[in-house]
Amino acid sequence: MISVALEQKELEQQALVQILFEQQFQHSAELVCHAPGRVNIIGDHTDYNDGFVLPAAINYGTTIAASVRDDKIIKVYAHDCDQQTNEFSLTEIVFDQQMMWSNYVRGTLQALLKKHPEINGANLVVTGNVPQGAGLSSSASFEIAILKTFTQLYQLELNGINAALIGQQAENDFVGCNCGIMDQLISAMGQQGHAMLLDCKDLSFEDAPIPDDLTLFIVNSNVKRGLVDSAYNLRRQQCEAVAKYFGVSALRDVTMAQLNAAEKEIEPELFKRARHVVSENTRAVNTLKALKANDMATISAEMKASHISLRDDFEVTTKEMDGLVEMIDSVLGTKGGVRMTGGGFGGCVVALVPNNLVTEVTDIVNRKYEQEFGLTASIYHCTASQGAFR
């Protein structure tokens, strides 16, 4: 179990990157930047449908130490990767088939250059503690950390919303994942102690405090995710096909009544995909209201319905995630909420757990998960932290 205060973990990362930077480049870093990962409390697979999401930035993230260069070269040392050093020129950015992690740097800078062609190169050292491939947005936190770093190094006029759009562009156009805007936006604009209801249609948002008596409890099923990008991109295409049928640009603009009335005209699988999206939007908005009113019974019901919808209609959960949700739900009942979080196909479940039930929930996961699934779960007690551009 990992449960360390935000400040302490961030300070440790900051100290580490500075030491590593001196070792790599034989001079001190000019600055250190940090961007958080995120957990999504509710509203999954809605962002690329122009819908609603309710994420929070978390106290796990990516930290970068950097200095400017007077040429166009990027030299980057990634402390947590097997092949750690990568070098390329801003004048010729191509996809790196060998060092996949470097494509987040390459893609982000390629997208940034479209707005800011004036930037020069940099020496960079990167370290992160967001578990990779777990649905907690290690890649978005990497992209936003890069953008914050260049914003500071070259005094760019870049706000958090534009940074998020650039990060998303890197994923869509360079890395090859057709993700929505949620992960980058919350990493840039999250507010400490708060969750954010984001309207992905116009990028307006509202912060809502997470009550002090609740723990953001995250459990990684540690199921290795396979073929994630292609399955994710397929879900997106399916949603777009239904939106097209209704003659709208995104499913956000389809109501449940319209969808139900057209059921016989739509392929059953596509109908289920759309039913998830339309119902999930309502659940995200209801959960924000319930959070503000401290109405845990409603939060609990909405999170439960969300998981079932992602399991049965959107079909992105795994048996391990379903099992974890069931175990945790058996302790929480209506006193807390639990569901899968993120893109799915493995990764994490998120629970809002009253502080006085944290031990009991931890115990049941430790006792039952390995026994039933032969895997060890990792548990993170998170706090909602501040976005890099807020």
Active-site residues, by number, are 183
Find the shortest distance in angstroms from Cβ 326 to ligand GLA. Answer: 21
Q: How many CA atoms lie within 13 A of 202 on its CB side?
A: 3
Find the shortest distance in angstroms from Cβ 184 to ligand GLA. Answer: 8
Query: Which residues, at least 6 apart from 48, have a Cβ–Cβ distance to it below 8 Å?
Result: 178, 179, 180, 200, 236, 239, 250
In a 3-state reduction of DSSP, which class is residue 382?
strand
Judged by beta carbon, residue 53 or residue 377, the one nearer ligand GLA is 53
| Alpha carbon distances (Å) from 279 to 42, 237, 374 | 12, 18, 34
**C-alpha 50: how far from chain center:** 17
> With binding defined as CB under 6 A, does residue 180 bind ligand GLA?
yes
> With binding defined as CB under 6 A, does residue 88 bind ligand GLA?
no
| Alpha carbon distances (Å) from 28 to 76, 124, 366 | 15, 11, 43
Judged by beta carbon, residue 179 or residue 328, the one nearer ligand GLA is 179
| Span near ligand GLA by CB under 6 A; candidates 93-101, 174-182, 245-253, 370-378 | 174-182
Structure tokens at 320: 């391990």
Find the shortest distance in angstroms from Cβ 19 to ligand GLA. Answer: 32
Judged by beta carbon, residue 50 or residue 153, the one nearer ligand GLA is 50
Judged by beta carbon, residue 121 or residue 135, the one nearer ligand GLA is 135
> With binding defined as CB under 6 A, does residue 182 bind ligand GLA?
yes
Find the shortest distance in angstroms from Cβ 95 to ligand GLA. Answer: 19
Find the shortest distance in angstroms from Cβ 45 to ligand GLA. Answer: 5
Helices (H), 26-125: 102-115
Find the shortest distance in angstroms from Cβ 51 to ligand GLA. Answer: 9
Classify residue 241 by burial, with Cβ atoms within 10 Å: 0-12, 13-18, 19+. middle
Alpha carbon distance 178, 155 (integer Å): 30
Q: Judged by CB under 6 A, which of 342, 346, 347, 387 binds ligand GLA?
A: 342
Mark 301-340 with x for binding to ligand GLA (rule: CB under 6 A) and - for no binding: ----------------------------------------
Torsion of CA 187, 386, 342, 110, to 10 degrees: 10
> With binding defined as CB under 6 A, does residue 188 bind ligand GLA?
no
Q: Judged by CB under 6 A, which of 183, 199, 320, 329 binds ligand GLA?
A: 183
Q: Judged by CB under 6 A, which of 131, 160, 343, 387 binds ligand GLA?
A: 343
* Interface positions, 30-49, toward ligand GLA (CB under 6 A): 40, 44-45, 47-48
Task: Determine the angle formed by the axes of helices 160-169 and 182-189, rounding to 10 degrees.
Answer: 150
Alpha carbon distance 268, 266 (integer Å): 6
Sequence letter at residue 384: A
Longest dimension (CA), the chain: 68
> With binding defined as CB under 6 A, does residue 104 bind ligand GLA?
no
Would residue 215 be called left, alpha or beta, if left means φ above 0 and alpha means ψ between -120 and 50 degrees?
A: beta
Site residues for ligand GLA per CB under 6 A:
40, 44-45, 47-48, 179-180, 182-183, 342-343
